[in-house]
Structures are given as structure tokens and as C-alpha cells.
Amino acid sequence: MNSNLMQFALASASAEGEGVLPLQWLGVFFGCLGLLFFLGTAVGMLRFPDFYTRMHAAGKGDTLSTMLMLIGFALFTMDDFSLSSWLLFVKIMGVVLFIFISTPTSSHALMRAAFEDDEMPMTEEDLKKSKKRRKKK
């Protein structure tokens, strides 16, 4: 399977001359997808009304976008299929796995700390109040 993939990549590289490998295009695609998700995180951090909703945007979007971007770069840096580039690929995948485990855990710990610190989530009444205030203005 490995050698097939390699032949495919090399053949397409020689066909395009100095062009970009299809694997690299896949990496660019993953990177842009990650940026899209990080855009969601940024907008959510900016616009959501209280801490828990912001945590929702940051926890989910941050984990997924970081993982997608790292996968994108793991594919992007895969020039030739030599041993050292495979090692690099495995290392970046290790970072991805680590972030997959650790970021949700730290989000959970922060959420629990906030909840036990009596940080109240925004209720519907609060929302109505703030809307009324905005109308008055």
C-alpha cells in the first residue's frame, strides 16, 4: 500500500513538473478547514453572552481546528516517503493525539472550576433584560 501511494505521488509529481503533490493539496485543504473552524472559535469568543457559551465555542472549535491544522501540516511536510519524513509524520500525529486528549480535559477542568466558583450561566430572563436594555438605547 505504501509503495503504491509513493508511486502515485511520484507519478503525479513528474506529470505536473514542479507542481504540488496531491498529498500537499490535501494538507492545504485540511489547513483551510482548520482556519474555518478557528474563525468560528474567534467569532464565538467575541460575541457569545456569558462564560459557558464562550467556553462552548472555545473548547470545541479550538480542539478541532488545532487538530485539523496539525494534520494539514503533517500532510504538507510529507515531501518524499523516506524514513525521516515518516518519523516527522508520526511525531505530528502524536501532537494531534495529545491535543485530542488534553484540550477537552483542560476545558472540563476550567468549566468545573467556574461552576464551583458560583459563576452563574446566563438565563433566559437575563437575556430578555439585556435585549430590553439594547432597545432602550
Partner 1 sequence: MSEYFPLIMGVALFVLMIPVVYRIWVGPTGFDRILGVNVIGTKTTVLLVIIGTVYDRVDMFVDFAIAYALLNFVSAIVVSRYLNRTISLKEMEAKEKKAKA
Partner 2 sequence: MDTEVPNMVTAVLADYRGFDTMFETVVVFIAGLALLAILKSSSSSKRIKREHEVEAEPDLIVTNTVRLIVPVIQIFAFYVLAHGHVSPGGGFQGGVLMGASFILVALSWDLDEALARFSLNRCMTVAALGIFIYAGIGLLSMALGGEFLDYAELHKILPVSPEMARYHAMLGVEIGVGFTVAAIMFALYANLSSGGRLRDGL
What's the per-residue H, E or C state across 6-67? HHHHHHHHHHHCCCCCHHHHHHHHHHHHHHHHHHHHHHHHHHCCCHHHHHHHHHHHHHHHHH
Decide: 58 and 45 in contact? Cβ < 8 Å: yes
Q: How is residue 121 annotated by DSSP?
A: P
Least Å distance between CB 34 and partner 2?
23
Binds 93: which of partner 2, partner 1, none (CB < 5-8 Å by kind): none
Least Å distance between CB 127 and partner 2?
30
Instruction: Rule CB under 8 A: say whether 47 interacts with partner 2.
Output: no
Alpha carbon of residue 93 to chain centroid: 13
Instruction: Rule CB under 8 A: say whether 7 interacts with partner 2.
Output: no
Q: How is residue 117 annotated by DSSP?
A: T
Instruction: Rule CB under 8 A: say whether 109 interacts with partner 2.
Output: yes
Least Å distance between CB 95 and partner 1?
5
Smaller CB distance to partner 2: residue 14 or 105? 105
Binds 28: which of partner 2, partner 1, none (CB < 5-8 Å by kind): partner 1
Least Å distance between CB 23 and partner 2?
25
**Residue selected from 18, 105, 135, 136 as contacting partner 2 according to rule CB under 8 A:** 105
CA distance 124 to 103: 29
